[in-house]
Structures are given as structure tokens and as C-alpha cells.
Structure 1
């Protein structure tokens, strides 16, 4: 069995990892999210939160943020909520919606370039919605002052439109608000062609005493994504907080801890991320700020990522400027990378969950994206990327298959040693090691290439599953979304029979192709004499077919194509070393045994 050791190591590792993903993390995570949501509906605990100050009232006490303006039990539809206040239209190549003049709140945004399904007539994606709706989700910037500053802009402040009519990428808008102490707040909002808003505030002190106030920003949502997140991708709170680095806090973690505070830091960003969309704030980078990721149940459940920054001092007759950035949109890789460079946002590319193998995952995406722009099809890009990866690993794979070939050559000598030493395992082991040394064979040489390729497989999985570029990306024929499972099923004859197949039995055409290629690849080697191992040998392709049926089609296509290339590569190397390719003889013997059994 020495000549099959490497292959079984690969199988065991792959099965272990895939089973762990699917059954130990994915399914329990979904169940955990469901149970947590139900538990929180039953809990009656309340967390203290400051009341909303009305415009003209004194500012919120130092250290506290004004309330988010949540209305307990509201259930207005989106159109009703939007009609409640005056608004500034937003219209860019990528965004449509409006900004609420009450609070200057970003609570109405849709993403023009993305739809809910592959159907081109389906609705475009809605990102932000007013707080009065069940799916409320918004971003807001304001100030925290003292009695000397008077009322400062907050959730209930009604701003005046000073200039501009519609916010476009070419035409910014300017808002103004003057409080009861004569302090003039001027806010200019601009946006680019993609998803970055720039909010530039000017605070003018017309009084006779110095003013000191702090700024804050928050991203708040009143519901979690409808589809619970899975282990392989982070959804929830996110940020890079100065020296604290990357912070990823799940909704469940926030529900348990109520509030997570990394501590004061200088530089960074924070917000809330979904699989493909995100809303993040970039505070002024020169001064420290405090960050908080919270879950509130004070009247209405909500999730909030916020920061508070002190140090805005305005002398009498002087002005002070505060500039904040808001990203609200799709996490497309080129756009996110461009923002990191052009705005000097620390590690902003980590907004996309590249995973532990970042150093492999992102370059692999870059390569696939290059081939996509070259050929216009991400499925074709996957196939070509697979060839490139095979070429990069060719020296290692050559050693692997050469080692397997040499092991087969010495198989007769190994059988003689087994007969000679019988049950004396120690003597047998010593004799085999001497044989390996004599024949210049490294019995574990074939394991390393397999181990090194596992991170590459995971990296490709992340690219296909995480990047928005793969979302709704078609291949050919029935595959119209490489990020979704193959939509066909063997059990309704691939759509010929008019009934839906349960998810457990949803085995599409590409998973079947993958299973066949895996079966053929395994038949390149002799069937193990041990009955248990032989059963594993026979059933492994079937198990993998069922397991990968729920994986993204792009990953299954990669695996099937990789198996095909491996079969060709192994056959060439084995022939070069003068070793018989066992495929056809194994298939012949397998079917002849089945016929004898049937007879």
C-alpha cells in the first residue's frame, strides 16, 4: 500500500477540511444565528442610551452620543418613510436615492449596477433605508458639545439646503445650520462616480467665547442580513482601528457582549459589512478617536458601529474644518484598492475578506481578473488560471508523480520483503527504509505538493465565494452565476421533470462531471487490497459529488478541470518513467467484477 499512501493522505486531508467546513461550521453557524435571533426577541434586558435631543435643545452630555432616532415598533414601508421629510436627490452613475435634511442622514441609497437576481428585470440592490422601516440602515455624522456651544447638529437637526439641487458626481450640495448661540455649521457633500462620499464641515464661531466640541459618526442598521453568514466569510462589524489593527466583530458577538470597544486610536476606518456591500466611515486621520461596535435593545433592536473624536476648538471669530469620508456601496476590488491609495486609508483593502491566505488569494484574483478582461468570461478565466497554477506547481507535481512511479517499480521487491519478514513490523520497516535509500526514493515526497496546493484551493474558493466580480458572472449554457451552485439536478432529469428537488439531493451536471473526473483520477492507481481502503477508494468520488454539489459552480468547474489536467499530467509522467498507467485495466477489472457479481 506504500504506492497509494500519498493519494490517501490527500483524500483524508481534503475530506477532513470539507466536512469541517460544511458540517462543523456552516450548518451550526446558520443554526446558531437562528437561535440567537429568537433568544434576543425573548430577552427583556435594556441598555442605557441617551435620548434624542431636539434641535435647539442643549447638546448631549460629554462622552455620550445622541440617540439614533429609532422609533419603537415602526413598520412604515419605504415610500411612506421617505415622504416624511425634505430630501436632496442623489443621482450618480453608480447610486440613486436621497439624503434626509433631518440629521443630514444618508438613509436612502440604491446601487444601480447590481440587481437582486440574474434576471436583468429584477430590482436593483437597496443598501440604505430610513430608520422608520423594518430594514432601516443609515449613516450619520454629527457633533457633541456643551452648554457653551448650544445645540449642535444631531439626528433631529433640520438642515437648510444652501446651494445645489441634486447631488451628482459633478455637482456637490451645501447645507447650513445656525444654532441658538450663533454658531454656523456649513456642510458640503460631494460624491464620486462610484461609492465614496466626502463630507466637509466648516464651523464658524461668531460669538465672543471659544468653543470646544467633539465629532461623531455612526453606521446603524435595524436588521441583520436575511441569509446568515457562514464561517468562510465575515459579515458584521469591521474596521481597521489604528494600532489595534483589523477588527472583525460578528453580530452574535455584539449581541453577547453588547458593546466592544477596541480603545483609542489614531487613523483607520470602521463600519458594517455584508458579503458584497458595505458602509464604512473614515474619520479625520490626524486626531485619535474612540470606536465602538454595539448591539442595542432600548426600544428597538439595532446594530451600530460608531466613533467619537474630540479636539475641535474654534476661537471667537474663527473657523474650523472637519472632513469625513463615507464609503457606501459595492466592494469591487479595483474601486476599494483605488480608495486605499488615493485617500491613504490604512488597509482599506481588508474591507474584502481575503482570508488567512491573503498573500495567495488576492494575487489569484488579480490573475483571474486579468484573464477575465482578456477573454470576457470569468469561467474561462478560472480554466486558464488553473492551467497557470498547474504550471507553477509542475516541478513539485513532477516529483510527486515520479515518486509514485518509482514506488510502483519497487512494488514487487516490497512484496518480497513483506513475505520475508512476516509480522515482524520493526524488521519490515527497517528493510523498507533500506530499499528506499537504495532506490533513492523519498516515500513522503509526494505529500508536500499536495499540502502546498491546499492553500491554493482555499484561496480560489475565497475568490469565487467572496468577490463581487464573481456574483452573477456567467459561464456557458446553464451556468449563469459562478458564485452559486449548479442549478440543475440529476433527480429531476436536469429540469425535464416538473418538480423541485430537495437541497440534499440537488446534484447538478458539473458536480457529476467533477465526480467522474475524480473517479477516473483515482483509477490511475491500483485498487488497494485492503477491503476497507478499497471501499473508501470506490465511494470517495460519490461522497465528494454530494458535498461539492452545494459549492459555487465556479469552484466545481475548477476542480473538474484540475482533475482532468492531473489525469493527463500523471499519465505522461508515468509513461516517461516506464510505469504502466492503471486506468484502463482498473476500469476493465472493475466492470468485470460487477458483471460477475450480477451474474
Structure 2
């Protein structure tokens, strides 16, 4: 950023930048990477309960500079490529870290400028985000570290061909990590240790996810972004700021899963569901201004006799939060509450069926916009009994308007008597004053559930409808303020009302006009008359899919109301 701002002065200070680069840029970056590496070593030692005596060799290795001045843990030792139908990236052989992973079919934005979503970021980078499986050892130099250079039996990991990483400590212990991956986003990691020495060793397998820095989040109450996990069957959600303020969350558990979730992507550790864990943790650290967040687990200490072996198999998920894929994994691997990785909210019992209905209709039609229209029709049919009672009552209310006005004039100075006479009239004319509210109650829950579905599910992301609506999860961008895109001007978001919200506002106004006029003071009448305009501007910033639902629901309600009220008028003639 600083180099761009000083571009005009480039000719003058080019030589200064050339000679000062290592001091001003490379040096601080290298120092930050060294600090991060040292913090990792300290966490590993603390977690493994390493004593000062046995930690000395690790400290010596950590502090010993290489000829290049770069810590050993940051030096390149080669990679194993990852290539699946959904993922591409690599595993670093230095430390056996999964620290480079992108999603092939999910872009940063719709259109030709969109790039693949980068999920995992190399160790040592400013926003490093990686996964690692390793062992703690009670004896010094017995287990691999972040500096260890592993060897691999293949150069590419594919769903058809697993890869085994191996390392021999030169003292009779051989460590191996076999990595397999499926067609989607689940990695299976089998850790094994072979003790060929003449003495016993004690190790504890572990896995962890680490993310440097706090990522940008929407910051909305409706969506959880941050640390997440299931501990002994209980879902725990920790936002970044909460974890920072309240401290680490730690609990022993059997099974479960733990990780970091974004709106549409997540990385989670999935240990064996039958193996008790000595510890599972969601954590925050801040050393030297370098913030980091993580999720990790540690299995129980295991003694390996001379000639013995130890093997443990665990998994981790890294990819898009696709509902069908996550549901399949939950059943296949018996992962408790794995589908709650998607933030269905408090009304998950309503949100999930609505999503499944929409997704089924999408499979039949190939268009989520049409699926929303059809789902709205289905919901209207389900709610028809309530709507029918409401509109019949409205019809009676409209017919009784002259009598109501007469009572209001007659008893305008006696409010109590007027209320008594009004209630008697309502009873005689079969009017239920609350009938108009009945359909609104379930519609409020449906609206919220649909809002959640459109906002949190990746299936809606970048899905087109027709015409100018090319992303149902984004607001309608086509506004009359710039003559529908003919004028090269982007109006402020607060006033950039799209076509669809305008249509929704018109449909609300028409629905108001169709309702019978009830007695209310002038202030209330003004507020009610302004509601369509207010909601037009409010809904302009919501997803097009949600506005499409509301507009279509209004149109169906207007049609339904008009037919029922005409029928009742004809019946009462």
C-alpha cells in the first residue's frame, strides 16, 4: 500500500527502496514469522507438559539460525500436491502441514473476475491458516516438530491415490502419516508410530487448526462466524471477540468435532468418534501483537513397547458448507450434530425443512427463483385455512363499515359504551377483530426461516433467476436512479432501490388498499400509509430471493383476498 502511494516518487527513491527492502519489509515479515513459530513451539511444549530439561534440545533447535537467516520451520522442504474434483493445493513436507488449499468451484465473485476461494494459507504468511497432525512425546527428540522434513511416497494426493508421509528420528522411531481424501472435502489422516528401539516411548497423537489474525466477518447476530465445536454432544459457538475476551474454551470429550467456520466455508477436525480425548480446545493467543485463533485436540498418552506400533485414524473437513455433503458425512462417520455447522438458528426445525423443500424444487426446476415461487404457493396452500378465516372476517368487516361508523358517531363521547356496542356488532356480524393477525404469525416465522436459508446456505450463493437478477443471495442492483445502468454512476446504498423492492412496495400498497378501512387516529393512518415506502427502502438491502418471496407472497395474498371477498359479497347479497 505504501509503495503504491509513493509511486510518483519512484524515480527518486528507487535505489533507496532497493537497498532498504530487506530492512524495512523482509526483516519485519521474517521476524513476525519467527515469533509465530516460537509461539507454536511454546504451545506444543506446554500442551505436552515438557519439562525444562527435556525442552532444552527443542529450544536450541528453535534458536539456531540457518545460513540464510530463515528459521528451519519456514524453509521449503518440498510439497505434495492436492488435486481432487473440488480442491487443489498442497501439503508442505516441512512440518507435514496442510497449508495451501483452494476451492475449484467457488469464486470470490460472480463473473470472469472471480478467483478461486483460498481456504488454507501457507505457514509463515501474514494470514496463515493451516492444519497439522503430530505427536507429543514425553522423551526429548522422540517426536517430529514444526521443523521436521518429511518424505512422501508420491508427489500428488488424489481420491484414487493416498499419500504416506514418513520420518525416522534416527533412534529407532519411525513416524508415518497416511493421508487420503475423497471426492468432496473430507481428509482421512492415519497416524502411526513404529518403535524399533530397545526402550519404551510414550506419545500422544494430536491435531490442530491455526488461523493467524482475525478475519473480516459480517458481524450480524443472525450468523455465527468464528470458533465452533461439539463437545460430548453439546454445540459450542465462540465468536472471535468472545474467545478473546473470555479466554480459551477447553473440555475433555469423546468424539465430536472442532474448528473454524466462516459464512460459507469451514475447516474442522473430526477425531475418531469412539476414542476419548484428553483435551479438546478452542483458543485465542496474542503474543507480540500477533493474534491467532485455533482449535485442537489431544488424545491420551500411549506407551509403545520395543517392537510395538501405535495407529490412530482421524479426519478433518476443509471446504464449502454444502448441506447435502455435510449431512452425508454426519451419517457416514457418525459425527454428532455435524449438520449444525450450518447456522440454521433457533428455529432450525423450521429452517431445515424449508431449505430441503426449496432444494428439492430446485432439482426439479433447475432454478432457485422458480423454487422460491413454487415454495411460496405451497406455503400459501398450507396456511389457506387461516387466510380464509381472515379474509372472510375482513369481508364482513367491510360490509359492516356503515354500521361501525354510525356507532362511532353515536357514542363518540362515551368510549366505554362504544366499545360495548362494537363488540356486540362484531358478534352479530360474525367479525373477528383478531382474524387479520392470524395469518401474520406463521408468516413471520416463515419469513425469518426463509431469510436464514437464503443468507446462510451456500446453495443460494451466485444462483441466478431471470433477466437482471443473476444472484438471488445479493440485493437487486438495478435501480432507476442511474437509469437502470445506462448512467455510469453507483448511487449510495441507502437510496439505491432496485426494481424488485419497488415492485414489492407497490404490492404492499395494493394490499393495503384492498383491506377494509378501520377506525384509527390520523397519526396511525399516516404511519400505515408510509409503511410500503419504508419497507421498500428497508428491503432494498436484502437478498433478491427474499424480496422475490415477499413480492410474490403479496401478489398471491392480493389474489386470494380479492377472490374470497368477492365470493363473500356475492353470498351475502
**If the TM-score is normalised by the length of the shorter chain, which range does it land in?**
0.7 to 0.9
Q: Does the residue aligned with 1:498 lie in a helix, a strand or coil?
A: coil
Q: Does 1:303 align with 2:289?
A: no
Q: Does the residue aligned with 1:408 lie in a helix, a strand or coil?
A: helix
Task: After TM superposition, give the deviation of residue 405 of structure 1 in Å.
Answer: 1.8
Task: After TM superposition, give the deviation of residue 122 of structure 1 in Å.
Answer: 2.3
Q: Does the residue aligned with 1:264 lie in a helix, a strand or coil?
A: strand
Residue 48 of structure 2 aligns with which residue? 62
Q: 1:143 pairs with 105, 129, 135, which one? A: 135
The farther-off stretch of 429-438 and 350-359 is 429-438
Q: Is the contact made by 1:330 and 1:468 (CA closer than 8 Å) also made in structure 2? A: yes
Task: After TM superposition, give the deviation of residue 188 of structure 1 in Å.
Answer: 0.6
Task: After TM superposition, give the deviation of residue 347 of structure 1 in Å.
Answer: 0.9
Q: Does the residue aligned with 2:514 lie in a helix, a strand or coil?
A: coil
Count of residues paired in the alignment: 517
Distance 1:457 1:566, change over 3 A: same
Q: Is the contact made by 1:511 and 1:548 (CA closer than 8 Å) also made in structure 2? A: yes
Correspondence list, 1:17-56, <5 A: 51-53=39-41
Q: Does the residue aligned with 1:577 lie in a helix, a strand or coil?
A: helix
The farther-off stretch of 521-530 and 354-363 is 521-530
The farther-off stretch of 312-321 and 325-334 is 312-321
Correspondence list, 1:413-492, <5 A: 413-492=403-482
Task: After TM superposition, give the deviation of residue 575 of structure 1 in Å.
Answer: 1.0
Residue 157 of structure 1 aligns with which residue? 148
Instruction: Give unpaired runs (5+ residues) of structure 1.
Output: 1-46, 72-80, 581-599
Q: Does 1:409 align with 2:399?
A: yes
Residue 69 of structure 2 aligns with which residue? none
Aligned counterparts of 2:403 and 2:368: Cα–Cα separation in 1? 49
The farther-off stretch of 184-193 and 530-539 is 530-539
Residue 240 of structure 2 aligns with which residue? 251
Task: After TM superposition, give the deviation of residue 431 of structure 1 in Å.
Answer: 3.0
1:31-58 Cα shifts (integer Å, max 9, x gaps): xxxxxxxxxxxxxxxx99975559xxx9
Aligned counterparts of 2:211 and 2:36: Cα–Cα separation in 1? 18
Task: After TM superposition, give the deviation of residue 365 of structure 1 in Å.
Answer: 1.1
Distance 1:49 1:92, change over 3 A: closer
Residue 376 of structure 1 aligns with which residue? 366
Q: Does the residue aligned with 1:114 lie in a helix, a strand or coil?
A: strand
Distance 1:357 1:473, change over 3 A: same
Residue 398 of structure 1 aligns with which residue? 388
Aligned counterparts of 1:252 and 1:453: Cα–Cα separation in 2? 34
Residue 95 of structure 2 aligns with which residue? 103
Residue 572 of structure 1 aligns with which residue? 563
Distance 1:570 1:135, change over 3 A: same
1:234-258 Cα shifts (integer Å, max 9, x gaps): 1111111114x11111111122123
Aligned counterparts of 1:113 and 1:103: Cα–Cα separation in 2? 29
Distance 1:535 1:422, change over 3 A: closer
Aligned counterparts of 1:246 and 1:70: Cα–Cα separation in 2? 38
Q: Is the contact made by 1:142 and 1:155 (CA closer than 8 Å) also made in structure 2? A: no
Residue 538 of structure 2 aligns with which residue? 547
Residue 263 of structure 2 aligns with which residue? 275
Aligned counterparts of 2:207 and 2:414: Cα–Cα separation in 1? 73
Distance 1:258 1:515, change over 3 A: same
Q: Is the contact made by 1:92 and 1:169 (CA closer than 8 Å) also made in structure 2? A: yes
Aligned counterparts of 1:227 and 1:211: Cα–Cα separation in 2? 45
Aligned counterparts of 1:303 and 1:559: Cα–Cα separation in 2? 40
Q: Is the contact made by 1:70 and 1:131 (CA closer than 8 Å) also made in structure 2? A: no
Q: 1:504 pairs with 494, 499, 502, which one? A: 494
1:16-35 Cα shifts (integer Å, max 9, x gaps): xxxxxxxxxxxxxxxxxxxx
The farther-off stretch of 452-461 and 404-413 is 404-413
Q: 1:225 pairs with 215, 220, 225, which one? A: 215
Aligned counterparts of 1:276 and 1:112: Cα–Cα separation in 2? 14
1:533-575 Cα shifts (integer Å, max 9, x gaps): 2211221111001001110111111111111111001101111
Task: After TM superposition, give the deviation of residue 499 of structure 1 in Å.
Answer: 1.4
Q: Does the residue aligned with 1:523 lie in a helix, a strand or coil?
A: helix
Q: Does the residue aligned with 1:175 lie in a helix, a strand or coil?
A: strand
Q: Does 1:171 align with 2:157?
A: no
Q: Is the contact made by 1:402 and 1:577 (CA closer than 8 Å) also made in structure 2? A: yes
Give me the CA root mean square deviation.
2.7
Q: Is the contact made by 2:36 and 2:124 (CA closer than 8 Å) also made in structure 1? A: no
Aligned counterparts of 1:562 and 1:64: Cα–Cα separation in 2? 64
Aligned counterparts of 2:430 and 2:86: Cα–Cα separation in 1? 62
Aligned counterparts of 1:446 and 1:520: Cα–Cα separation in 2? 16
Task: After TM superposition, give the deviation of residue 496 of structure 1 in Å.
Answer: 1.5
Task: After TM superposition, give the deviation of residue 403 of structure 1 in Å.
Answer: 1.9
1:71-94 Cα shifts (integer Å, max 9, x gaps): 9xxxxxxxxx99833110011110
Distance 1:196 1:239, change over 3 A: same
Q: Is the contact made by 1:59 and 1:150 (CA closer than 8 Å) also made in structure 2? A: no
The farther-off stretch of 435-444 and 382-391 is 435-444
Residue 547 of structure 2 aligns with which residue? 556
Q: Does the residue aligned with 1:428 lie in a helix, a strand or coil?
A: helix
Distance 1:182 1:442, change over 3 A: same
Aligned counterparts of 2:463 and 2:40: Cα–Cα separation in 1? 45
Distance 1:550 1:83, change over 3 A: farther
Aligned counterparts of 1:284 and 1:115: Cα–Cα separation in 2? 32
Residue 357 of structure 2 aligns with which residue? 367
Q: Does the residue aligned with 2:302 lie in a helix, a strand or coil?
A: strand
Aligned counterparts of 1:197 and 1:382: Cα–Cα separation in 2? 35
Q: Is the contact made by 2:394 and 2:515 (CA closer than 8 Å) also made in structure 1? A: no
Task: After TM superposition, give the deviation of residue 61 of structure 1 in Å.
Answer: 6.1
Q: Does the residue aligned with 2:526 lie in a helix, a strand or coil?
A: helix
Which structure would you say has the larger RCO, counting Cα contacts within 8 Å and 6 or more residues apart? 1
Distance 1:471 1:48, change over 3 A: closer
1:458-486 Cα shifts (integer Å, max 9, x gaps): 11111111111111111111111111111
Aligned counterparts of 1:99 and 1:518: Cα–Cα separation in 2? 55
Normalised by the length of structure 2, the TM-score is 0.85
Task: After TM superposition, give the deviation of residue 127 of structure 1 in Å.
Answer: 0.6
Residue 596 of structure 1 aligns with which residue? none
